[in-house]
Amino acid sequence: MTTAAWMEALLAAPLAGAVIALISGRRAAALVGVVTAFATAAASIALAFAVSRSGVLRYAVGGWGRPLGIDLYVDGLAAVMVAITGVVGACISVCAAGYFAPKPTHADLPSDKHDRAWLYWPLWLMLWGGMNALYLSADLFNIYVTQELIGLSGIGLIALAGGSAISAALRYLLLALAGSLLYIVGVELLYAGYATLDLQQLRDRIDANPSTFAAAALMTAGLLAKSALFPLHFWLPPAHGHAPVPVSAALSALVIKTGFYLVVRLWLHVLPGLAWAHLATLLGVLGAAAVFWGGVQALMQERLKMMVAYSTVAQVGYLFMLFPVASVPEALPGALLLAASHAAAKAALFMCAGSVLAVYGHDRIRSINGIGTRMPLTAVAFALSGISLIGLPPSGGFAGKWLLISAAFAAGAWWWAAIIVLGGLLSAVYLLRALAFAFLEPPIAGFGRAPWGMEATSLVLAFIAVGLNFAARPLSELLNAGAG
């Protein structure tokens, strides 16, 4: 099959799966969901291979072509993001099949929720379809619609947990709406100025006038709010900390990356014509602040899930340190490798927290004594994903930070490198603190049954996070997979 066929499949399969899951209801939704998940994951890997073989592709949906119609566009960057989403998404689906199965084992999912648990599948597949559509789109307004799809399905998914998750979901709704509003105002200004919504045509036509600057600023602000960059991160910990485990994993590992991806797309590919050195520095500084603020907050958390959620605030910070050094060729592969390994490691960590929650009935860090002996799989998964998040070799986190640090030195800006190293130390402190309680104390009595599906999936994801150590070269090749 050709690149175009894989793109069609990646758009249509999750959306079709979602509507079939919706119609088939409680009995068959999980089956439809898992089958769709594996098909979509296979297609996303196939797309990456197709792009690395035959280069970038533009695809005119409806046959009209830009500027009248909507174009899809896949290059190395989009293919990488789709592949991350595919692989991690499949793992999350496997975990969810166990988690949302009709048996009341989960402390954070009250039993009266079980008759609604199947709604997870249409919502999650819609979310996935929205992310694929976002990464593959070359049209600013179409990207707005995909963000709405992602935002609304995310809100429904968080609300599945019930109770205090509802207010977190509402807060997320308001934030997402505010972000979308800023973004769409920017899009309208650009359309008014250049009579096109196509990214490539905008790049060719852009000139530095007040309206363009205003549009760029508004869109960036909206996207930063959605990617939870400090100080716009306030909505993230309650939303990611209270959602059901597979939902936290999906939001933290995947959804956050859509905002980051759009900022990269916007500034590196659409608006490089604007002189944006000051903004790049500002993004880097905010990233550095996020690394420290998120790290310190993670250290102060009592609950494992909240700690993992605050760790996302910190990890988003590293990604944005790409911008001040973006002129160096290693920088983008470094940031993407970090994004990929964070996606795998963070999904794994949320599942570890979920397994602990299922076995212990709570996730208070001070009382999770003995998971090392009680739940060896989870403990290993926790340790391996921790290695990647800290950035110890060998792991994807290490390889990504290595590339970013080299880029910082190549750009003559050693201080970014220093912040990346210090941030790694900080994450070591909070992750090892939790792990210390797990290994040092003896086990106590009174446990629930370990959800083996979730444990096994977290281990697979943790191995992926570590294995990404060797992905730097293929990733760089894919990113350079020609303007051919």
Q: In the complex, which residues of this chain contact another protein (CB under 8 A)?
A: 4, 8, 11-12, 15-16, 18-19, 22-23, 25, 59-64, 67-70, 116, 119, 122-123, 126, 129-130, 133, 141-142, 145-146, 148-149, 152-153, 155-157, 159-160, 162, 166, 185, 189, 191-193, 195-196, 209-211, 214-215, 217-218
- How near is the Cβ of 102 to another protein at its closest, in Å? 16
The smaller minimum CB distance to another protein, of residues 111 and 211, is found at 211
Helix spans in 160-198 (H)? 165-194
- How near is the Cβ of 153 to another protein at its closest, in Å? 5
- How near is the Cβ of 96 to another protein at its closest, in Å? 15
The smaller minimum CB distance to another protein, of residues 11 and 314, is found at 11
CA–CA dist 152, 147 (Å, integer)? 8
The smaller minimum CB distance to another protein, of residues 133 and 377, is found at 133
CA–CA dist 307, 295 (Å, integer)? 9
- How near is the Cβ of 152 to another protein at its closest, in Å? 4
The smaller minimum CB distance to another protein, of residues 122 and 372, is found at 122
- Closest by CA position to 307, among listed 385, 372, 231, 419: 385
- Please report, in angstroms and rounded to a whole number, the separation of the first and last CA atoms in the chain: 18
Residue pair 387/397 in contact (Cβ under 8 Å)? The answer is yes
The smaller minimum CB distance to another protein, of residues 188 and 441, is found at 188
The smaller minimum CB distance to another protein, of residues 67 and 329, is found at 67
- How near is the Cβ of 210 to another protein at its closest, in Å? 5
- How near is the Cβ of 252 to another protein at its closest, in Å? 19
Structure tokens belonging to residue 249: 């994993």
Helix spans in 227-276 (H)? 236-242, 245-250, 256-264
Residue pair 210/199 in contact (Cβ under 8 Å)? The answer is no
Structure tokens belonging to residue 285: 């500084």
**Angle (CA) 110 456 426, round 5°:** 85
The smaller minimum CB distance to another protein, of residues 61 and 253, is found at 61
CA–CA dist 29, 304 (Å, integer)? 30
3-state helix, strand, coil in the chain (%, to 5): 75, 5, 20
Residue pair 378/356 in contact (Cβ under 8 Å)? The answer is yes
The smaller minimum CB distance to another protein, of residues 52 and 201, is found at 201
- How near is the Cβ of 5 to another protein at its closest, in Å? 8
- How near is the Cβ of 421 to another protein at its closest, in Å? 36
Structure tokens belonging to residue 271: 């608006």
